[in-house]
């Protein structure tokens, strides 16, 4: 070998060429091992399900699986405890390399609060714009006889007036009641919130879950129930019922197992029976997909989903009855007379028509803006 190198050195050009080739080979070999080490080639992990876990528990689970956890977004869903993981990316079951970062969306501990702008003396249009800019909405309009037609005379939040200079903060997305002037001689009219929706949608009574509180959830759990927001539409003979309301379901119900930003649609046909469809209904990707699809349809002039070919129908919910869980501080003798039970401070009603319950709740909210109800199934 020594003689070989001596002979090779006698040819400088060839000698340096061999040295260069050796250095390149060494660098390539070192790069190969560095890539193996840096990319953890062959070291795959299955991403576990972090949704529903408290952030600390999710972090410990990530460490046990050699993964990094990072919060990149937050939402506020009243039905869940603060700090609970609502969504994750990559999703459960995805194969990744050790050390991969999993991005999670968590539930905020409270909704962001904003200051209520003073809109009295403004036109209704100006008041609406000011509330929207502040992240608020019109809860209901109350028209009163006054020469200042279509101008805001007074504003209230949870039944309390907002005066000039009042520094009142409420949760973003909350509603403000506006008292608006109307021509003399007209009677006082209470108008439900229908701004931005079609007449068909306005015919459907809707009650959300914004007012659900931890005490409510504790009562539900004590009675083995889960609260979900359910939209129901049903044809009964020649009439149609349609309504949206919080509903208490047994823990073994299919709807009770629907997590975070997923949706479940169930259809019950005369011949096909019950058919259920489950999937993600929110989040960046489903939302982006549907926005792009709508834009493509508009560009192509396709409006198949929004058609006028349907026969208009007004929902009749008087024939549908439920028992209801009701929590309110409002003084409503009719509601008290309908009580048949008590859940640690909240009353349980007798079966009453859906339309009547929504009307009673509208009255309760006038006195107590934090009132909440849910149907029992």
Give domain status of residue 310, yes or no.
yes
**What is the Cα–Cα distance from 255 to 263, expressed in whole angstroms?**
9
Percent residues over pLDDT 90 in the chain: 24
Give domain status of residue 24, yes or no.
no
Give domain status of residue 138, yes or no.
yes
3-class DSSP state of 359: helix
Distances (CA, A) of 266 to 244, 247, 275, 329, 330: 15, 15, 6, 35, 35
User: Nearest-CA neighbor of 375 among 314, 317, 315?
Assistant: 317
Residue 367 shares a structural domain with residue 224: yes
**What is the Cα–Cα distance from 42 to 162, expressed in whole angstroms?**
64
pLDDT, one tens digit per residue, over 154-170 is 999 988 898 988 888 88
Residue 103 shares a structural domain with residue 130: no
Residue 293 shares a structural domain with residue 359: yes
For residue 198, the model assigns a pLDDT of: 45
Say if CB 67 and CB 58 are below 8 A apart: no
Residue 237 shares a structural domain with residue 364: yes
Confidence of residue 294 (pLDDT cuts 50, 70, 90): confident
Please state whether beta strands 137-145 and 175-182 pair in parallel, antiparallel, or not at all (unpaired).
Answer: parallel
Say if CB 344 and CB 219 are below 8 A apart: yes
Burial class (CB in 10 A: 0-12, 13-18, 19+), 285: exposed
DSSP label at 53? S
Residue 88 shares a structural domain with residue 119: no
Residue 122 shares a structural domain with residue 103: no
pLDDT for residue 265 is more than 50: yes
For position 69, which CATH number holds? 3.30.10.20
pLDDT for residue 196 is more than 80: no
Show the CA angle centred on residue 48, arms to residues 45 and 52, nearest 5°.
160
Give the end of a domain, one of 69, 84, 107.
Answer: 107
Residue 220 shares a structural domain with residue 255: yes
Residue 81 shares a structural domain with residue 209: no
Mean pLDDT of 233-244: 78
Residue 118 shares a structural domain with residue 84: no
Give domain status of residue 219, yes or no.
yes
pLDDT for residue 371 is more than 80: yes
Q: What angle in degrees, to the nearest 10, is found between the helix axes of 12-38 and 2-9?
A: 120
Give domain status of residue 91, yes or no.
yes
Residue 242 shares a structural domain with residue 355: yes
Give the end of a domain, one of 56, 76, 107.
Answer: 107
Residue 251 shares a structural domain with residue 300: yes
Give domain status of residue 197, yes or no.
no
| pTM check: above 0.75 | no
Give domain status of residue 31, yes or no.
no
Give domain status of residue 199, yes or no.
no
Helix (H) or strand (E) holding 326: strand 321-327
pLDDT for residue 309 is more than 60: no
**What is the Cα–Cα distance from 96 to 98, expressed in whole angstroms?**
7
pLDDT for residue 323 is more than 90: yes
Residue 223 shares a structural domain with residue 354: yes
User: Nearest-CA neighbor of 105 among 87, 80, 90, 82?
Assistant: 87
Q: Which residue has the higher pLDDT, 267 or 127?
A: 127
Q: For residue 164, what are the domain limits?
A: 113-192
At which residue do the structure tokens 């504003």 appear?
A: 155
Give the CA-trace dihedral at 192, 195, 197, 203, to 10 degrees.
20
Give the end of a domain, one of 170, 192, 214.
Answer: 192
Instruction: Give the chain's domain count.
Output: 3
pLDDT for residue 200 is more than 90: no
């Amino acid at each position: 070998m020594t003689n070989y190198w001596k002979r090779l050195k006698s040819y400088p050009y060839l000698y340096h060429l061999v040295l260069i080739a050796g250095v390149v080979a060494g660098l390539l070999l070192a790069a190969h091992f560095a890539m193996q080490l840096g990319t953890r080639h062959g070291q795959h992990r299955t991403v576990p399900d972090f949704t529903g876990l408290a952030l600390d528990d999710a972090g410990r689970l990530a460490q046990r699986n050699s993964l990094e956890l990072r919060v990149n977004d937050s939402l506020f869903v009243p039905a869940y405890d603060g700090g609970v993981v609502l969504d994750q990316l990559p999703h459960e079951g995805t194969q990744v390399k050790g050390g991969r970062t999993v991005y999670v969306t968590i539930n905020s501990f409270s909704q962001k609060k904003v200051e209520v702008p003073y809109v009295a003396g403004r036109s209704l249009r100006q008041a609406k714009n000011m509330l929207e800019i502040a992240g608020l909405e019109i809860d209901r309009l109350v028209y009163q006889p006054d020469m200042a037609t279509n101008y805001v005379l007074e504003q209230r939040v949870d039944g309390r007036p907002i005066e000039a200079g009042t520094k009142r903060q409420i949760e973003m997305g909350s509603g403000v009641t506006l008292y608006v002037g109307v021509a003399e001689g007209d009677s006082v009219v209470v108008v439900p919130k229908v701004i931005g929706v079609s007449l068909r949608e306005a015919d459907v009574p809707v009650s959300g879950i914004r007012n659900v509180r931890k005490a409510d959830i504790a009562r539900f759990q004590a009675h083995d129930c889960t609260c979900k927001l359910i939209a129901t539409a049903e044809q009964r003979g020649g009439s149609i019922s349609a309504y949206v309301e919080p509903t208490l379901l047994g823990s073994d119900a299919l709807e009770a197992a629907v997590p975070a930003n997923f949706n479940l649609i169930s259809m019950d046909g005369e011949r096909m029976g019950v058919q259920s469809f489950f999937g993600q209904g929110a989040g960046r990707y489903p939302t982006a997909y549907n926005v792009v699809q709508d834009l493509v349809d508009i560009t192509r002039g396709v409006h198949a989903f929004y058609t006028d070919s349907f026969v208009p129908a007004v929902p009749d919910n008087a024939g549908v009855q439920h028992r209801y869980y009701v929590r309110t501080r409002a003084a409503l003798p009719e509601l008290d007379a309908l009580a048949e039970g008590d859940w640690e401070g909240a009353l349980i009603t007798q079966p009453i028509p859906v339309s009547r319950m929504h009307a009673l709740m509208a009255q309760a909210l006038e006195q107590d803006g934090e009132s909440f109800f849910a149907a029992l199934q």
